[in-house]
Amino acid sequence: MYAVIRPDSKRGSHMGAFAAFFEKILKALVILANGSMLLLVFGQVITRYCFGWTPHFGEELARYLFVWVVFLSLPLVAKYGGHMCIETITSRVHGMTLKVLNILADLFSIAFLIIMTWNGVLMVERTSFQTSPAMMIPMSYVYAVIPFGCGVMLCYVFANLIRVLRTPANELSK
């Protein structure tokens, strides 16, 4: 249901440049984590079947990298309107009705993301003394991506809400 957020061509501010730079960093982190996860799992398969052993940290690190990929990808997917939505209603309505549905979707998303960000911060605090079984790293390192990813996605959803509110209803497209 989200409309795609495109950067304003009129905006030449430092904030726009920072947002573009931040997005490039997010994309690079997702690519790096995804590539590392792929190489790690491939290495585990090779060592298991060729040498009969696997590194003790392999499965755990792959699992944690997957969590990081998911939560770092959330804001990117939100920015480009890639999250799943049910288009049964939105494909049949136009104008002010579509605008109201987009606003409601953004408001519900904002409420959910505030809850996720807040509880993610609490989870990081509560797990700061717990260590992972194989790698012995603080679990707060694993969970730190939850409030970060949800917080950045919250910024993108706010930006989308502002864009929808500013756009006349007859110009709004899916």
Q: What is the pLDDT of residues 76-132, one digit of tens each?
A: 998 887 777 777 777 788 888 889 988 999 999 999 999 999 999 999 999 999 999
pLDDT attached to residue 9: 46
pLDDT attached to residue 19: 86
135 — phi, psi (to 5°)? -95, -15
pLDDT attached to residue 13: 73
Q: Is 39 helix (H, G, I), strand (E, B) or coil?
A: helix
Write down the domain spans for the chain. Answer: 14-171
The predicted model gives 120-149 an average pLDDT of: 95
- pTM of the predicted model as reported, rounded to 2 decimal places: 0.82
- The dihedral sign for the CA sequence 96, 100, 105, 111: positive
Q: Dihedral (C-alpha) 143, 78, 84, 164: value to the nearest 10 degrees?
A: 140
Instruction: Please state, in angstroms and rounded to a whole number, the distance separating the CA atoms of residues 17 and 23.
Output: 10
Asked if residues 135 and 61 have their Cβ atoms less than 8 Å apart, the reply is yes
Asked if residues 138 and 128 have their Cβ atoms less than 8 Å apart, the reply is yes
